[in-house]
Structure 1
Amino acid sequence: MLLSVMKVPSCGRLPVILLSLVTRVYYPVHIGATMASFLLVTSSPRGLQSLSTRYARNIAESLQARSGGAIVERDLAAAPLPHITSAYIDGRIAQPEARTFEQIEAVDLAESLVQEVQSADVIVIGSGMINFGPPTQLKAWLDHITWPGVTFGYSAAGKPQGLLTGKKVYLVTAAGGVFSQGDWAASDFQTAYLRHLLGFIGLTDIEIVRVEGTVFGPEAAKAAIAATEAQVRAILEQAP
Protein backbone atom coordinates (compact mmCIF):
# COMPACT_ATOMS: atom_id res chain seq x y z
CA MET A 1 0.00 0.00 0.00
CA LEU A 2 1.53 3.28 -1.11
CA LEU A 3 0.87 6.00 1.41
CA SER A 4 3.21 8.70 0.26
CA VAL A 5 5.62 9.63 -2.50
CA MET A 6 8.19 12.25 -1.58
CA LYS A 7 11.34 13.65 -3.19
CA VAL A 8 14.17 15.87 -2.01
CA PRO A 9 17.29 17.41 -3.52
CA SER A 10 20.39 15.40 -2.66
CA CYS A 11 22.73 18.30 -2.06
CA GLY A 12 23.31 20.85 0.61
CA ARG A 13 22.55 20.48 4.29
CA LEU A 14 19.87 17.95 5.12
CA PRO A 15 18.44 18.44 8.61
CA VAL A 16 16.62 15.45 10.02
CA ILE A 17 13.27 17.14 9.45
CA LEU A 18 13.93 17.11 5.70
CA LEU A 19 15.04 13.51 5.38
CA SER A 20 11.52 12.35 4.53
CA LEU A 21 11.69 14.43 1.37
CA VAL A 22 14.39 12.29 -0.22
CA THR A 23 12.17 9.32 -0.19
CA ARG A 24 9.56 7.47 -2.03
CA VAL A 25 8.20 5.52 0.92
CA TYR A 26 5.83 2.58 1.13
CA TYR A 27 4.25 1.69 4.48
CA PRO A 28 2.33 -1.60 4.26
CA VAL A 29 0.40 -3.02 7.20
CA HIS A 30 1.64 -6.42 8.38
CA ILE A 31 0.27 -6.86 11.88
CA GLY A 32 2.28 -9.27 13.97
CA ALA A 33 5.03 -9.66 11.37
CA THR A 34 8.64 -8.60 11.66
CA MET A 35 9.03 -5.80 9.16
CA ALA A 36 12.20 -5.33 7.17
CA SER A 37 13.40 -1.92 6.05
CA PHE A 38 14.54 -1.41 2.47
CA LEU A 39 16.84 1.11 0.79
CA LEU A 40 16.45 1.40 -2.99
CA VAL A 41 19.28 3.27 -4.73
CA THR A 42 18.90 3.98 -8.45
CA SER A 43 21.38 5.87 -10.58
CA SER A 44 20.63 5.63 -14.30
CA PRO A 45 20.18 8.94 -16.15
CA ARG A 46 17.52 7.15 -18.24
CA GLY A 47 15.10 7.19 -15.32
CA LEU A 48 12.09 4.91 -15.68
CA GLN A 49 13.30 3.78 -19.12
CA SER A 50 16.35 2.24 -17.47
CA LEU A 51 16.40 -1.54 -17.14
CA SER A 52 18.61 -1.38 -14.05
CA THR A 53 16.08 0.93 -12.40
CA ARG A 54 13.13 -1.18 -13.52
CA TYR A 55 14.43 -4.44 -12.09
CA ALA A 56 15.93 -2.91 -8.96
CA ARG A 57 12.56 -1.37 -8.17
CA ASN A 58 10.79 -4.62 -9.00
CA ILE A 59 12.96 -6.54 -6.55
CA ALA A 60 12.56 -3.98 -3.77
CA GLU A 61 8.80 -3.67 -4.17
CA SER A 62 8.28 -7.44 -4.42
CA LEU A 63 10.30 -8.13 -1.27
CA GLN A 64 8.58 -5.31 0.58
CA ALA A 65 5.13 -6.57 -0.37
CA ARG A 66 6.06 -9.95 1.08
CA SER A 67 7.71 -8.91 4.33
CA GLY A 68 6.30 -5.47 5.09
CA GLY A 69 8.31 -2.49 6.22
CA ALA A 70 9.13 0.66 4.29
CA ILE A 71 11.13 1.35 1.15
CA VAL A 72 13.29 4.45 1.21
CA GLU A 73 14.28 5.34 -2.35
CA ARG A 74 17.21 7.52 -3.30
CA ASP A 75 17.12 8.43 -6.97
CA LEU A 76 20.65 9.63 -7.65
CA ALA A 77 19.92 10.60 -11.25
CA ALA A 78 16.88 12.74 -10.47
CA ALA A 79 18.58 14.33 -7.46
CA PRO A 80 22.35 13.91 -7.92
CA LEU A 81 24.72 14.24 -5.02
CA PRO A 82 27.67 16.63 -5.19
CA HIS A 83 31.03 15.01 -5.68
CA ILE A 84 33.13 15.09 -2.55
CA THR A 85 35.23 18.19 -1.89
CA SER A 86 37.82 19.32 0.62
CA ALA A 87 34.95 20.43 2.86
CA TYR A 88 33.85 16.83 3.17
CA ILE A 89 37.35 15.40 3.55
CA ASP A 90 38.53 17.97 6.10
CA GLY A 91 35.15 18.11 7.85
CA ARG A 92 35.22 14.39 8.63
CA ILE A 93 38.38 14.72 10.69
CA ALA A 94 37.66 18.12 12.26
CA GLN A 95 36.06 18.42 15.69
CA PRO A 96 32.35 19.26 15.26
CA GLU A 97 32.71 22.62 17.01
CA ALA A 98 35.63 23.57 14.74
CA ARG A 99 33.92 22.85 11.42
CA THR A 100 33.21 25.63 8.95
CA PHE A 101 29.72 26.10 7.57
CA GLU A 102 30.73 24.33 4.34
CA GLN A 103 32.19 21.44 6.34
CA ILE A 104 29.03 21.17 8.44
CA GLU A 105 26.90 20.97 5.28
CA ALA A 106 29.14 18.33 3.72
CA VAL A 107 29.35 16.18 6.85
CA ASP A 108 25.62 16.45 7.56
CA LEU A 109 24.85 15.22 4.06
CA ALA A 110 27.23 12.27 4.38
CA GLU A 111 25.84 11.40 7.81
CA SER A 112 22.30 11.34 6.44
CA LEU A 113 23.37 9.01 3.62
CA VAL A 114 25.18 6.69 6.02
CA GLN A 115 22.15 6.65 8.29
CA GLU A 116 19.96 5.49 5.41
CA VAL A 117 22.29 2.55 4.84
CA GLN A 118 22.64 1.74 8.53
CA SER A 119 18.86 1.72 8.95
CA ALA A 120 18.21 -0.67 6.07
CA ASP A 121 17.96 -4.43 6.39
CA VAL A 122 17.93 -4.89 2.62
CA ILE A 123 19.64 -2.64 0.06
CA VAL A 124 18.75 -2.78 -3.64
CA ILE A 125 21.03 -0.93 -6.07
CA GLY A 126 20.51 -0.27 -9.76
CA SER A 127 23.56 0.61 -11.87
CA GLY A 128 23.63 1.04 -15.64
CA MET A 129 27.09 0.84 -17.17
CA ILE A 130 28.53 4.06 -18.59
CA ASN A 131 31.92 3.86 -20.30
CA PHE A 132 32.65 0.48 -18.69
CA GLY A 133 31.96 1.66 -15.13
CA PRO A 134 29.06 2.69 -12.90
CA PRO A 135 27.36 6.08 -13.28
CA THR A 136 29.21 8.93 -11.60
CA GLN A 137 26.07 9.58 -9.55
CA LEU A 138 26.46 6.17 -7.91
CA LYS A 139 30.19 6.71 -7.43
CA ALA A 140 29.44 9.96 -5.59
CA TRP A 141 27.03 8.12 -3.26
CA LEU A 142 29.64 5.47 -2.52
CA ASP A 143 32.28 8.13 -1.86
CA HIS A 144 30.00 9.75 0.72
CA ILE A 145 29.22 6.53 2.59
CA THR A 146 32.76 5.08 2.56
CA TRP A 147 33.80 6.72 5.80
CA PRO A 148 36.75 5.58 7.95
CA GLY A 149 35.72 4.84 11.50
CA VAL A 150 32.04 4.89 10.53
CA THR A 151 31.48 2.36 7.74
CA PHE A 152 34.89 0.70 7.78
CA GLY A 153 37.87 0.44 10.09
CA TYR A 154 41.10 -1.46 10.58
CA SER A 155 42.06 -4.24 12.94
CA ALA A 156 45.10 -4.09 15.20
CA ALA A 157 46.95 -5.94 12.46
CA GLY A 158 45.97 -3.33 9.90
CA LYS A 159 43.39 -5.46 8.13
CA PRO A 160 40.35 -3.54 6.82
CA GLN A 161 37.05 -4.37 8.47
CA GLY A 162 33.68 -3.38 7.05
CA LEU A 163 31.24 -2.08 9.65
CA LEU A 164 27.97 -2.26 7.68
CA THR A 165 27.40 -5.95 8.35
CA GLY A 166 24.30 -8.11 8.55
CA LYS A 167 22.57 -6.65 5.49
CA LYS A 168 21.42 -8.21 2.23
CA VAL A 169 22.29 -6.43 -1.02
CA TYR A 170 20.69 -6.96 -4.41
CA LEU A 171 22.80 -5.36 -7.15
CA VAL A 172 21.20 -4.93 -10.57
CA THR A 173 23.73 -4.05 -13.27
CA ALA A 174 22.83 -3.23 -16.86
CA ALA A 175 24.96 -3.03 -20.00
CA GLY A 176 24.15 -2.97 -23.68
CA GLY A 177 26.90 -5.46 -24.49
CA VAL A 178 27.76 -8.77 -22.86
CA PHE A 179 30.32 -8.35 -20.08
CA SER A 180 29.72 -11.41 -17.91
CA GLN A 181 31.81 -13.59 -20.21
CA GLY A 182 33.74 -13.53 -23.45
CA ASP A 183 36.08 -10.92 -24.90
CA TRP A 184 34.54 -7.99 -23.01
CA ALA A 185 34.55 -9.54 -19.55
CA ALA A 186 37.87 -7.91 -18.67
CA SER A 187 36.36 -4.51 -19.49
CA ASP A 188 33.61 -4.77 -16.88
CA PHE A 189 34.79 -2.18 -14.38
CA GLN A 190 31.28 -1.84 -13.01
CA THR A 191 30.39 -5.14 -11.34
CA ALA A 192 33.80 -5.93 -9.88
CA TYR A 193 34.24 -2.40 -8.54
CA LEU A 194 30.81 -2.30 -6.92
CA ARG A 195 31.20 -5.75 -5.39
CA HIS A 196 34.63 -4.85 -4.01
CA LEU A 197 33.72 -1.48 -2.53
CA LEU A 198 30.44 -2.70 -1.04
CA GLY A 199 32.32 -5.61 0.52
CA PHE A 200 34.98 -3.23 1.83
CA ILE A 201 32.37 -1.44 3.96
CA GLY A 202 30.85 -4.71 5.17
CA LEU A 203 28.16 -5.36 2.56
CA THR A 204 29.35 -8.80 1.52
CA ASP A 205 26.04 -10.66 1.13
CA ILE A 206 25.44 -9.55 -2.46
CA GLU A 207 23.12 -11.06 -5.06
CA ILE A 208 23.88 -9.81 -8.56
CA VAL A 209 21.35 -9.55 -11.38
CA ARG A 210 22.77 -8.75 -14.81
CA VAL A 211 20.83 -7.15 -17.65
CA GLU A 212 23.11 -7.37 -20.69
CA GLY A 213 23.22 -7.93 -24.42
CA THR A 214 20.28 -5.69 -25.25
CA VAL A 215 21.84 -3.76 -28.18
CA PHE A 216 22.15 -6.58 -30.69
CA GLY A 217 18.71 -6.32 -32.21
CA PRO A 218 15.12 -6.95 -31.10
CA GLU A 219 15.45 -10.72 -30.72
CA ALA A 220 18.62 -10.44 -28.66
CA ALA A 221 17.03 -7.78 -26.48
CA LYS A 222 13.95 -9.94 -25.96
CA ALA A 223 16.12 -12.90 -24.96
CA ALA A 224 18.21 -10.73 -22.62
CA ILE A 225 15.14 -9.39 -20.86
CA ALA A 226 13.68 -12.88 -20.54
CA ALA A 227 16.93 -14.09 -18.97
CA THR A 228 16.92 -11.19 -16.52
CA GLU A 229 13.32 -11.79 -15.54
CA ALA A 230 14.16 -15.44 -14.90
CA GLN A 231 17.00 -14.32 -12.61
CA VAL A 232 14.67 -12.01 -10.73
CA ARG A 233 12.02 -14.72 -10.31
CA ALA A 234 14.61 -17.15 -8.97
CA ILE A 235 15.91 -14.58 -6.50
CA LEU A 236 12.43 -13.75 -5.25
CA GLU A 237 11.58 -17.44 -4.87
CA GLN A 238 14.69 -18.01 -2.75
CA ALA A 239 14.40 -14.85 -0.67
CA PRO A 240 13.04 -15.22 2.88
Structure 2
Amino acid sequence: MREQRKPWKNYRRQQAANSLRKYKEDKKRMEITRKRTEETNWGQVKELVAAGSLKVGDEISDNLLTGQKMVYVVADITEEEVKFVSKDLLAERVVWNENGRSTGGFKESDLCRYLNEEVWAILPEELKAVISERECLQIVEGKEERFMLKLWLPSEFEVFGDSWASEVEEGQQFELFKDPRNRVKFDQDGERAAWWLLSVCAGYSTNACSVSYYGFASSSSCSYALRVPVCFSIKK
Protein backbone atom coordinates (compact mmCIF):
# COMPACT_ATOMS: atom_id res chain seq x y z
CA MET A 1 0.00 0.00 0.00
CA ARG A 2 1.37 3.43 -0.88
CA GLU A 3 2.29 5.86 1.90
CA GLN A 4 0.19 8.71 0.54
CA ARG A 5 -3.22 8.65 -1.05
CA LYS A 6 -5.78 11.38 -1.70
CA PRO A 7 -8.78 11.14 0.65
CA TRP A 8 -12.06 10.03 -0.92
CA LYS A 9 -13.81 13.15 0.41
CA ASN A 10 -11.65 15.26 -1.88
CA TYR A 11 -12.50 12.93 -4.78
CA ARG A 12 -16.20 13.36 -4.08
CA ARG A 13 -15.97 17.15 -3.86
CA GLN A 14 -13.99 17.37 -7.07
CA GLN A 15 -16.37 15.05 -8.92
CA ALA A 16 -19.37 17.10 -7.78
CA ALA A 17 -17.66 20.34 -8.80
CA ASN A 18 -16.76 18.95 -12.22
CA SER A 19 -20.31 17.71 -12.78
CA LEU A 20 -21.79 21.07 -11.78
CA ARG A 21 -19.40 22.95 -14.06
CA LYS A 22 -20.27 20.72 -17.02
CA TYR A 23 -24.00 21.10 -16.30
CA LYS A 24 -23.66 24.90 -16.36
CA GLU A 25 -21.70 24.74 -19.62
CA ASP A 26 -24.30 22.47 -21.21
CA LYS A 27 -27.11 24.80 -20.15
CA LYS A 28 -25.60 27.44 -22.45
CA ARG A 29 -26.28 25.21 -25.46
CA MET A 30 -29.94 24.46 -26.09
CA GLU A 31 -30.86 21.43 -28.16
CA ILE A 32 -34.01 19.59 -29.14
CA THR A 33 -33.92 15.79 -29.05
CA ARG A 34 -36.64 13.97 -30.93
CA LYS A 35 -37.18 10.25 -30.40
CA ARG A 36 -38.92 7.89 -32.78
CA THR A 37 -39.83 4.29 -31.94
CA GLU A 38 -39.54 1.71 -34.72
CA GLU A 39 -39.72 -2.06 -34.83
CA THR A 40 -36.43 -3.68 -35.70
CA ASN A 41 -34.29 -6.79 -35.28
CA TRP A 42 -30.59 -7.29 -34.64
CA GLY A 43 -29.85 -7.95 -38.30
CA GLN A 44 -31.27 -4.54 -39.12
CA VAL A 45 -29.33 -2.97 -36.25
CA LYS A 46 -26.14 -4.45 -37.75
CA GLU A 47 -27.05 -2.78 -41.06
CA LEU A 48 -27.59 0.56 -39.29
CA VAL A 49 -24.17 0.20 -37.67
CA ALA A 50 -22.54 -0.48 -41.04
CA ALA A 51 -24.33 2.49 -42.61
CA GLY A 52 -23.30 4.84 -39.81
CA SER A 53 -26.95 5.64 -39.09
CA LEU A 54 -26.90 5.25 -35.31
CA LYS A 55 -26.14 8.08 -32.89
CA VAL A 56 -24.92 8.13 -29.30
CA GLY A 57 -27.98 7.86 -27.07
CA ASP A 58 -30.03 5.71 -29.48
CA GLU A 59 -31.76 2.85 -27.63
CA ILE A 60 -32.51 -0.74 -28.67
CA SER A 61 -34.93 -2.78 -26.52
CA ASP A 62 -34.89 -6.57 -26.32
CA ASN A 63 -35.53 -9.35 -23.81
CA LEU A 64 -33.06 -11.80 -22.33
CA LEU A 65 -33.96 -15.49 -22.42
CA THR A 66 -34.87 -15.09 -18.74
CA GLY A 67 -37.60 -12.64 -19.76
CA GLN A 68 -35.86 -9.57 -18.33
CA LYS A 69 -36.27 -6.55 -20.60
CA MET A 70 -33.03 -4.78 -21.47
CA VAL A 71 -32.55 -1.40 -23.11
CA TYR A 72 -29.17 -1.13 -24.85
CA VAL A 73 -27.90 2.41 -25.39
CA VAL A 74 -25.34 3.48 -27.99
CA ALA A 75 -22.52 4.61 -25.69
CA ASP A 76 -19.71 5.39 -28.12
CA ILE A 77 -18.97 5.26 -31.83
CA THR A 78 -15.56 4.87 -33.48
CA GLU A 79 -14.45 4.22 -37.04
CA GLU A 80 -14.39 0.49 -36.30
CA GLU A 81 -17.35 -0.22 -34.04
CA VAL A 82 -20.40 0.90 -32.09
CA LYS A 83 -20.37 0.20 -28.35
CA PHE A 84 -23.59 -0.53 -26.46
CA VAL A 85 -24.11 -0.37 -22.68
CA SER A 86 -27.42 -1.43 -21.14
CA LYS A 87 -29.40 1.38 -19.57
CA ASP A 88 -30.20 -0.63 -16.46
CA LEU A 89 -28.52 -3.49 -14.63
CA LEU A 90 -28.89 -7.24 -14.53
CA ALA A 91 -30.97 -8.55 -11.64
CA GLU A 92 -28.21 -10.66 -10.08
CA ARG A 93 -25.52 -9.20 -7.83
CA VAL A 94 -22.08 -10.70 -8.47
CA VAL A 95 -18.64 -10.49 -6.86
CA TRP A 96 -15.65 -9.22 -8.81
CA ASN A 97 -13.56 -12.15 -7.59
CA GLU A 98 -14.46 -14.96 -5.22
CA ASN A 99 -10.96 -14.93 -3.72
CA GLY A 100 -11.35 -11.26 -2.81
CA ARG A 101 -8.32 -10.11 -4.81
CA SER A 102 -7.78 -8.14 -8.02
CA THR A 103 -4.64 -10.06 -9.02
CA GLY A 104 -4.64 -10.69 -12.76
CA GLY A 105 -7.11 -7.89 -13.39
CA PHE A 106 -10.47 -8.15 -15.07
CA LYS A 107 -9.23 -10.67 -17.64
CA GLU A 108 -8.65 -13.28 -14.91
CA SER A 109 -11.63 -12.33 -12.74
CA ASP A 110 -14.71 -14.36 -11.87
CA LEU A 111 -16.75 -11.39 -13.07
CA CYS A 112 -15.28 -11.66 -16.58
CA ARG A 113 -16.08 -15.37 -16.63
CA TYR A 114 -19.62 -14.69 -15.39
CA LEU A 115 -20.29 -12.21 -18.19
CA ASN A 116 -18.86 -14.33 -20.98
CA GLU A 117 -20.35 -17.63 -19.85
CA GLU A 118 -23.49 -17.15 -17.77
CA VAL A 119 -24.71 -13.85 -19.19
CA TRP A 120 -23.72 -14.84 -22.74
CA ALA A 121 -25.89 -17.95 -22.36
CA ILE A 122 -29.04 -15.90 -21.72
CA LEU A 123 -28.65 -13.56 -24.70
CA PRO A 124 -30.95 -14.28 -27.67
CA GLU A 125 -29.23 -15.98 -30.61
CA GLU A 126 -30.03 -13.07 -32.94
CA LEU A 127 -28.07 -10.71 -30.70
CA LYS A 128 -25.14 -13.09 -30.22
CA ALA A 129 -24.86 -13.41 -34.01
CA VAL A 130 -24.01 -9.71 -34.46
CA ILE A 131 -21.79 -9.11 -31.40
CA SER A 132 -18.12 -8.62 -32.22
CA GLU A 133 -15.12 -9.16 -30.00
CA ARG A 134 -13.76 -5.92 -28.59
CA GLU A 135 -10.16 -5.22 -27.66
CA CYS A 136 -10.10 -4.38 -23.95
CA LEU A 137 -7.24 -2.71 -22.10
CA GLN A 138 -6.31 -3.26 -18.47
CA ILE A 139 -3.37 -1.87 -16.53
CA VAL A 140 -2.54 -3.70 -13.31
CA GLU A 141 0.47 -2.66 -11.22
CA GLY A 142 1.90 -0.84 -14.24
CA LYS A 143 1.55 -3.82 -16.58
CA GLU A 144 -0.54 -3.09 -19.68
CA GLU A 145 -2.46 -5.96 -21.24
CA ARG A 146 -4.86 -6.06 -24.19
CA PHE A 147 -7.31 -8.89 -24.79
CA MET A 148 -10.45 -9.65 -26.78
CA LEU A 149 -13.90 -10.12 -25.22
CA LYS A 150 -17.48 -10.29 -26.45
CA LEU A 151 -19.00 -9.08 -23.17
CA TRP A 152 -17.03 -6.58 -21.12
CA LEU A 153 -17.32 -3.65 -18.74
CA PRO A 154 -16.07 -0.11 -19.32
CA SER A 155 -12.96 1.03 -17.49
CA GLU A 156 -13.06 3.82 -14.92
CA PHE A 157 -11.53 6.22 -17.45
CA GLU A 158 -14.08 5.25 -20.12
CA VAL A 159 -16.88 6.25 -17.74
CA PHE A 160 -15.44 9.30 -15.95
CA GLY A 161 -12.75 10.63 -18.27
CA ASP A 162 -10.49 10.57 -15.22
CA SER A 163 -8.80 8.00 -13.03
CA TRP A 164 -10.04 8.65 -9.51
CA ALA A 165 -9.32 5.22 -8.02
CA SER A 166 -7.44 3.34 -10.74
CA GLU A 167 -4.92 6.15 -11.34
CA VAL A 168 -4.38 4.93 -14.93
CA GLU A 169 -5.89 5.93 -18.27
CA GLU A 170 -7.48 2.83 -19.78
CA GLY A 171 -9.00 3.89 -23.11
CA GLN A 172 -10.97 7.07 -23.89
CA GLN A 173 -14.13 8.37 -22.23
CA PHE A 174 -17.32 7.12 -23.90
CA GLU A 175 -19.38 9.94 -25.36
CA LEU A 176 -22.51 8.79 -23.48
CA PHE A 177 -20.83 9.11 -20.08
CA LYS A 178 -19.76 12.71 -20.62
CA ASP A 179 -23.23 13.49 -19.26
CA PRO A 180 -22.98 12.53 -15.54
CA ARG A 181 -26.66 11.53 -15.48
CA ASN A 182 -25.89 8.55 -17.71
CA ARG A 183 -23.54 7.10 -15.10
CA VAL A 184 -26.43 6.47 -12.69
CA LYS A 185 -28.04 3.05 -13.18
CA PHE A 186 -31.04 1.32 -11.65
CA ASP A 187 -32.05 -2.18 -10.61
CA GLN A 188 -35.25 -3.96 -11.64
CA ASP A 189 -37.20 -2.24 -8.86
CA GLY A 190 -36.25 1.19 -10.14
CA GLU A 191 -33.82 1.79 -7.27
CA ARG A 192 -30.37 3.30 -7.78
CA ALA A 193 -27.66 0.66 -7.66
CA ALA A 194 -23.86 0.54 -7.61
CA TRP A 195 -22.17 -1.28 -10.49
CA TRP A 196 -18.80 -2.79 -11.29
CA LEU A 197 -16.14 -1.50 -13.71
CA LEU A 198 -13.24 -3.23 -15.45
CA SER A 199 -10.47 -1.34 -13.60
CA VAL A 200 -8.67 -2.36 -10.43
CA CYS A 201 -8.15 0.10 -7.58
CA ALA A 202 -4.59 1.44 -7.41
CA GLY A 203 -2.69 0.61 -4.25
CA TYR A 204 -5.16 -2.02 -3.05
CA SER A 205 -4.96 -5.63 -4.21
CA THR A 206 -8.39 -6.37 -2.73
CA ASN A 207 -10.44 -3.62 -4.41
CA ALA A 208 -11.83 -2.97 -7.88
CA CYS A 209 -13.38 0.19 -9.30
CA SER A 210 -17.11 0.75 -9.32
CA VAL A 211 -19.77 3.42 -9.86
CA SER A 212 -21.71 4.48 -6.77
CA TYR A 213 -25.48 4.77 -6.35
CA TYR A 214 -25.19 8.46 -7.24
CA GLY A 215 -22.96 8.01 -10.28
CA PHE A 216 -19.66 8.89 -8.61
CA ALA A 217 -16.36 7.03 -8.97
CA SER A 218 -15.87 4.55 -6.16
CA SER A 219 -14.17 1.29 -5.28
CA SER A 220 -15.40 -1.84 -3.54
CA SER A 221 -13.95 -5.02 -2.11
CA CYS A 222 -13.60 -7.66 -4.81
CA SER A 223 -15.56 -10.07 -2.61
CA TYR A 224 -18.54 -7.69 -2.41
CA ALA A 225 -21.50 -8.30 -4.72
CA LEU A 226 -22.58 -5.47 -7.02
CA ARG A 227 -24.66 -5.37 -10.18
CA VAL A 228 -23.45 -5.11 -13.78
CA PRO A 229 -24.79 -3.82 -17.11
CA VAL A 230 -24.57 -5.76 -20.37
CA CYS A 231 -21.93 -4.24 -22.65
CA PHE A 232 -21.00 -5.30 -26.18
CA SER A 233 -19.74 -4.00 -29.51
CA ILE A 234 -20.92 -4.38 -33.10
CA LYS A 235 -18.31 -3.79 -35.81
CA LYS A 236 -19.11 -1.67 -38.84
Q: Find the structure with the greater CA-based Rg.
A: 1
Provide TM-score, normalisation by structure 1: 0.28
Larger fraction in helix: 1
Q: Which has the higher contact order (CA 8 A, sep 6+)?
A: 2
Q: What is the TM-score with the length of structure 2 in the denominator?
A: 0.28
**Normalized per residue, which structure has more strand?**
2
